[in-house]
Chain A
Amino acid sequence: DAKTTQPNSMESNEEEPVHLPCNHSTISGTDYIHWYRQLPSQGPEYVIHGLTSNVNNRMASLAIAEDRKSSTLILHRATLRDAAVYYCILSMDSSYKLIFGSGTRLLVRP
């Protein structure tokens, strides 16, 4: 299974942008890049996903490097509610499952 590498933790100030990096150097051409987050005491929550082009939705933006070996999840204005563990996952052609790594724990300071 293709793996992703994320920092263990990051900190941000409330109302500032946050850039969460993810490396996936073994990605193949048809793997989708998914981001999920897990707030304390809740189930994982879908954030965004993409294949090659940058993607935007109401929650976040996903910037994908041209060679697709890395991506960045962008929260435009962090709120206290965004404090969570963020998981970068490769969704592979031959598999329907999500393989969660250890993720990045985001702390948001008021």
Chain B
Amino acid sequence: DSGVTQTPKHLITATGQRVTLRCSPRSGDLSVYWYQQSLDQGLQFLIQYYNGEERAKGNILERFSAQQFPDLHSELNLSSLELGDSALYFCASSTGQGRFYEQYFGPGTRLTVT
């Protein structure tokens, strides 16, 4: 158990819908990262927050957005869903930010768009 929690574990929804994925980082961790894992693209970095502020952006679509709240939990919002958005979405957290901090991953949310 990494100490990172994600809800829900599974989500099935239809194309065009909007969903929210939630992540609670390890106690004391200030950085939260979101990753997407699909069969054809592998694990891809989406976005990072540090203490409530966005710090890095990766291959995140404009239909996707995220935020980190004062209690440090984070939400990833996915809208106008397409079949290709079906994937595993992982949240990770670390104590600080930077190249020498290890990241701890949650169990993921499996999103299925039908």
**Which A residues lie at the B interface, using CB under 8 A?**
30-32, 34, 36, 38, 42-46, 49, 51, 87, 91-93, 95-102
What does the 1/0 interface line of B89-114 toward A look like (CB < 8 Å)? Answer: 01010000111101111111000000
**Which residues of B approach A to under 8 Å, CB–CB?**
2, 4, 31, 33, 35, 42-45, 48, 50, 55-56, 58, 90, 92, 97-100, 102-108
Nearest 3 CB-CB pairings of A with B: A43-B105, A100-B43, A91-B99
Knowing A99-B45, A100-B43 touch, does A42 contact B100 (C-beta < 8 A)?
no
Q: Return the chain A residue nearest B94 by Cβ.
A: A96
Majority DSSP secondary structure for residues of A touching B:
loop
B108 contact set on A, CB distance < 8 A: 42-43
Q: Does the CB pair A96–B100 fall under 8 Å?
A: no
Given pairs A43-B92, A51-B100, A98-B45, 20 additional interface contacts (CB within 8 A): A30-B99, A32-B99, A42-B108, A43-B2, A43-B90, A43-B107, A44-B103, A45-B105, A46-B102, A46-B104, A49-B100, A91-B99, A96-B56, A96-B97, A96-B98, A97-B58, A98-B35, A100-B43, A100-B44, A101-B42
Which among A32, A46, A93, A97 is the interface contact of B45 at CB below 8 angstroms?
A97
CA separation between A51 and B56, bound complex, in Å?
23
Given A97-B56, A97-B58, A99-B45, do A45 and B2 touch, yes or no (CB 8 Å)?
A: yes
Q: Check A91–B100 contact: CB distance below 8 A.
A: yes
- Shortest beta-carbon distance from B28 to chain A in Å: 16
